[in-house]
Structure 1
Amino acid sequence: MVFSSHEEYFKSLSPVIQALMLSIQQKVETLLPEVTRCISYQMPAFRANQHVFFYFAAFRKHIGIYPPVTKDLALINVLQPYRGKKGNLSFPLDQPLPLELIGQVVMAFYREYEAGTRKR
């Protein structure tokens, strides 16, 4: 299925997963009200200054967040239980969603892109 908006993507999910995805969307928009919603790689994403900097997607057993955090070593340490082999984050659906931690990830990505230290 091809999605053209966050809303379309969310409608394809169960109500429980929809609520989790909406909570992530709200967290991003609360922290960074100037960013724009978009779909990239068929995932909900956010764009700032013409560059997509944050992607999130629902899977059968987890919510994934992309790309990997690469610069903030303290944050990488805290994220260790959620990091996959390539550093992408995977939050299991059978555990509470750590929204404050996800907010820290969002801000780390945003700062990296704004500072030009992350590949665009």
Structure 2
Amino acid sequence: MERSFKNIDDYISVQTPEVQILLEQMRHAIKKAAPEAEEVISYNMPAFKYHGMLVYFAAYKKHIGFYATPTGHSEFKEELSVYKQGKGSVQFPLNQPLPLDLITKIVAFRVKENLKKKST
């Protein structure tokens, strides 16, 4: 039976200590780019909302999944090309440092995109 999470703290608390550190780094990078974004759980994974959904992320056995769909991935296609990708996702291996500056840039892009949609 899959556990349902109430909030991001709850989600992070069930991970191994090593993964908790990575998830907190991810969270901090997202908040840096979107300080007004709301933390939510969506599809049972951590997500951030600001005038619509911005990004999601999740812990897996060997990677952190990052979802900045649809445009966050296509806009940063070249920078993300060194990572394994799926439809609308990118995988950051647990045995490598997270690309925190890139994550921050992607989130900032998504914030601008959502604000632009809001104003039209």
Give yes or no for TM over 0.5. Answer: yes
Q: Which moved more, 1:3-12 or 1:22-31?
A: 22-31
TM-score, length basis structure 2: 0.85
* CA distance in structure 2 between the partners assigned to 1:47 and 1:70 by the alignment: 15
Aligned to 1:65: 66
1:29 to 20, 28, 31: 31
Q: Which deviations, in whole Å up to 9, do the C-alpha atoms of 1:59-94 show, x marking residues without a partner? A: 000001113353686621111122513241110111
Q: What does 1:6-25 correspond to in 2, within 5 Å?
A: 6-25=8-27
Moved over 3 A (4+): 71-74
| CA distance in structure 2 between the partners assigned to 1:80 and 1:18 by the alignment | 25
Alpha-carbon RMSD across the aligned residues, in angstroms, is 2.0
Checking the alignment, whether the CA contact within 8 Å between 1:70 and 1:76 is kept in structure 2 is no
Matched with 2:117 is 116
SS at match of 1:84: strand
Q: Which moved more, 1:60-69 or 1:10-19?
A: 60-69
Percent of counterpart pairs with the same letter? 34
Extract unaligned runs of 5+ from structure 1: none
Which whole-Å CA distance do the structure 1 matches of 2:7 and 2:92 have between them? Answer: 22
| Whole-angstrom distance in 2 between the partners of 1:71 and 1:28 | 13
Distance, in Å, in 2 between the alignment partners of 1:71 and 1:6 is 21
Deviations 1:4-50 (A, max 9, x none): 1001000110011001101111111122211110000001000112x
Which region of structure 1 is more displaced relative to structure 2, 106-115 or 52-61? Answer: 106-115
Measure, in 2, the Cα distance between the counterparts of 1:114 and 1:59. Answer: 31
